[in-house]
Structure formats: C-alpha cells, structure tokens
C-alpha cells in the first residue's frame, strides 16, 4: 500500500483544480446582474452559461479517448490553462457574443480536467476509487460554497465584481507549476495486479452488455447532471420568486445546498469504508433527491426551502454522479478515459439543454422549473433501480481476490 502515500500530493493538486472548477460552474450565474448590465440582458448571460455545455460536448468524448492513449497529465494541464483563459476572457469580453467563445472554452477546460483527473484518481486508488472520486465533489462544493460569500463581500464593500474571476485565475495559475512536478500512476493497474499474483482478479472482465448496462449509464449520466445543474442555476431565483425570500436569504440557499453536498461526500466516504456498496447508495440518493425536489415544488416556503436545499445538495450533488462513473468503469474496465468521456458527454448535453429549456419555462413561473426537476429526478430513480439489478447480476461472477 505504499503507493497510497506517494499519490497524496498529486490528488491534492487535482482536487485544488476542482475547487476552482466549482467556482467556474456558478461564477456566471452568481455575477448575472453585473454581466447583464454589461452585455445587455439576463438572457445574454444565460446563453453564455449554456455555452459551457457545448464546450464540454465538443471535446469530452475525444479527450477521454486521447487520455487513454497519451496519458492523464497532458489533459489535466491543458484543462488548467484553458480555465485561466476563460476567467480572464470573460472580464475582457465587450459583448455576450465574444463571451460565448470563452463560455465554450470553460466547457472545454472542464472536459480536459475530467478526462485526465477521474481516470488518474481511479488508478491512484483502485481499491477505494469511489472515495477518491467522490472527494472531488467536496472540493467542487467548497468552491460553490465560498464563491457566493466572496461575491457578497464584494457587493457589500461596493468592490469590482471582476475580483471573483481574478481570484479563481490566480489559484489555478499557482497550481500549474505544482502539477508539472507530479508523477501519475500506471494507466493499467491490471497488469501490476497480475505481477503481484492477482491473476484471476486482474484478468476477469465483466460480461457487461453495452446495449443494456451501457445505455442505462449513459441515460443516468444525463439525468444526474440535469437534476443538480437545474437546482444550482435556479435555486436563488426560486427563493425570491416562489418561496418569497429576501435576496440575501435566497442567495444563502446555494450555500445550504453546497453544505449538503459536502456533508454527503464525507458520509459516502465513511459508509463505503464500512462496507456499504456504492451501488446501494446510488439508488438511495436518487430516491431522496426525488422526494426533496418534489417537496420544493409542492410546498414552497421560506422556512422549508433551506432544509430541502440542504437535502437536495446531499442527495443530488453529493457525488452521486461520481458514484455512477465508478460503477461504469467497474462494469466496462477497458478504457477508463473513454468511459469517463461517454458518461460525462451525456452530462454535458444536460448542461446545454437544461438552461435553454428552463430559460423558456421561466416566463410561465419559476416553480414549473422545480416541477420539471422533480420529474427528471424520478426518472433517475427508475434508471438507478435498473442499474442496481444489472450490476448485481453481472458482478456476482467476479472471482474473490
């Protein structure tokens, strides 16, 4: 187990990237009014936000495949450099059309990071891959928790909104020389395991069917991303328009949601160590998120909203997507980068389609958007049940190590 220690600095550096990524995902929505004043309207900003999904879509599948071929490190570094270009580029964009180009760059940056980071973490800790990847979510949540507070301070002191972009770019720039020094694990731990005498376990390949389990994971990738992406973009507006909360109280909903997702990360790490299987958590979390989002839809209130926001963050954004990916790489172990690409490509289709659809729905009332999210979460629960049945059926043939 000595490799456990040697990859800790690498993992910390990878996690720091996702702290900045957490900021990157919501920074446009959090600065919506300032950017709208500069570019024209809220709709212009919504278009730029939807470009992140397009950017992910353009390169995610390809970068996943290339990461299997050329290694993880080049893609992590590419992602870091591209993210810096996004933060600086948005501040320099005179119009929303120019900003759309940088929105696409943010999506590309995210894809590059995913293609290198998820496989690297799974390869660094093959025995506890679900914990290693779910911890990424903790850093994303930390970024999403701190950014609204930082922007709140900027607004209270009447400072320039752009400092939020500058701070994110500086953190990422600081991490580049650190990452350059890091060494990455072998891309084929199965060969290493075989050398250590674990031939049977290493050579065993699950008899998963792409048209069955593969399709189920692809659909789950879309639904799990859509469920929490929709909440993260619309929760503040829901608080003001539907739950009749003050602006500050409505903004705090995102913080409750982020704390929920952080708590879930550590809860997941704890219970998986105690022997609860990730596949069981997948079903439980999707059921809880369905019930809590339905609660927001059917019982809008300023008292309940913070509690339900916490529960939605816990169940829908606390790493359930990462658990789905780990299950997928277990069932299709050849080409982890490619599987990451496929799984997150469907997620990025959600990042693009959800803002467009909800943008049109917003006119008929913000609560209708919550209703849509509850329906999506319910579909996710049904798919999770299908995955649970198939996973147990396929993986029961795995030889004991």
The secondary structure of 115-171 as a DSSP string is HHHHHHHHHH-GGGHHHHHHHHHHHHHHHHHHHHHHHHHHHHTT--TTHHHHHHHHH
pTM recorded for the entire structure: 0.79
What angle do the packed helices 278-298 and 247-273 form, to 10 degrees? Answer: 160
Q: How many helices (H) does the chain have, and how many strands (E)?
A: 17, 0
Task: Count the helix, strand and coil residues of the chain and give each as a percent rounded to the nearest 5.
Answer: 85, 0, 15
Tens digit of pLDDT at every position of the chain (401 positions) = 344 457 889 999 999 999 999 999 889 988 988 999 999 888 889 889 889 878 888 888 899 889 989 999 999 999 999 999 999 999 999 999 999 999 999 999 999 999 999 999 988 888 888 888 888 888 988 898 899 889 989 989 999 999 999 999 999 999 999 999 998 988 765 544 444 444 444 566 777 888 888 899 999 999 998 998 888 888 988 998 899 998 889 988 988 998 898 899 889 989 988 889 989 999 999 999 999 999 999 999 999 999 999 999 999 887 788 889 888 988 888 788 888 888 888 887 887 788 778 878 877 788 899 999 999 999 999 999 999 999 998 888 777 65
Structure token digits, residue 74: 């080049």
Provide the residue ranges of all domains of the chain, joining segments of one domain with +. 3-184+198-395
pLDDT score at 169: 97
In CATH, the number for domain 3-184+198-395 is 1.20.1250.20
Contact 186, 192 (CB under 8 A): yes
CA–CA dist 192, 25 (Å, integer): 37
Q: How far apart are CA 69 and CA 82, in angstroms?
A: 21
- The H or E element that residue 20 is part of is helix 8-30
Q: What is the pLDDT of residue 1?
A: 37
To 5 degrees, how large is the angle CA 216–CA 219–CA 225?
135
Residue 250: phi, psi to the nearest 5? -65, -40
Q: Which two tokens stand for residue 184?
A: 């990455």
Count the Cβ atoms, other than its own, within 10 Å of residue 322: 26
């Amino acid at each position: 187990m000595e490799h456990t220690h040697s990859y800790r600095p690498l993992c910390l550096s990878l996690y720091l990237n996702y702290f900045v990524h957490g900021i990157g995902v919501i920074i446009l929505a959090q600065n919506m009014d300032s950017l709208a004043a500069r570019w024209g309207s809220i709709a212009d900003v919504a278009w730029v936000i939807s470009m992140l999904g397009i950017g992910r879509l353009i390169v995610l599948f390809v970068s996943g495949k290339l990461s299997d071929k050329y290694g993880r490190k080049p893609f992590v570094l590419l992602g870091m450099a591209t993210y810096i270009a996004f933060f600086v580029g948005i501040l320099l964009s005179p119009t929303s059309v120019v900003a759309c180009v940088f929105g696409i760059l943010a999506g590309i940056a995210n894809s590059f990071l995913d293609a290198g980071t998820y496989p690297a973490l799974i390869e660094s800790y093959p025995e506890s891959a679900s914990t290693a990847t779910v911890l990424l979510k903790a850093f994303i949540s930390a970024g999403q928790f701190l950014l609204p507070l930082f922007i709140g301070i900027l607004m209270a002191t009447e400072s320039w909104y752009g400092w939020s972009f500058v701070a994110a770019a500086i953190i990422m720039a600081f991490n580049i020389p650190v990452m350059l020094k890091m060494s990455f694990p072998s891309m084929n731990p199965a060969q290493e395991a075989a050398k250590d005498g674990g031939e049977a376990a290493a050579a065993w390949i699950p008899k998963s069917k792409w048209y069955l389990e593969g399709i189920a994971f692809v659909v789950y990738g879309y639904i799990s991303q859509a469920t929490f992406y929709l909440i993260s973009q619309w929760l503040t507006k829901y608080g003001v328009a539907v739950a009749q909360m003050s602006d500050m109280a409505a903004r705090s909903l995102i913080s409750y949601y982020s704390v929920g997702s952080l708590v879930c990360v550590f809860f997941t790490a704890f219970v998986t160590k105690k022997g609860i299987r990730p596949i069981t958590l997948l079903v439980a979390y999707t059921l809880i998120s369905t019930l809590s989002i339905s609660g927001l839809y059917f019982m809008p209130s300023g008292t309940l909203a913070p509690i339900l926001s916490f529960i939605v963050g816990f169940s829908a954004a606390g790493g359930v997507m990462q658990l789905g990916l780990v299950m997928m790489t277990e069932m299709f172990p050849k080409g982890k980068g490619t599987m990451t690409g496929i799984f997150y490509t469907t997620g990025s289709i959600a990042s693009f389609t959800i803002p467009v659809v909800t943008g049109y729905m917003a006119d008929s009332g913000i609560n209708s958007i919550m209703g849509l999210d509850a329906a999506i979460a319910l579909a996710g629960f049904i798919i999770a049940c299908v995955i649970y049945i198939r996973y147990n059926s396929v993986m029961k043939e795995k030889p004991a190590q």
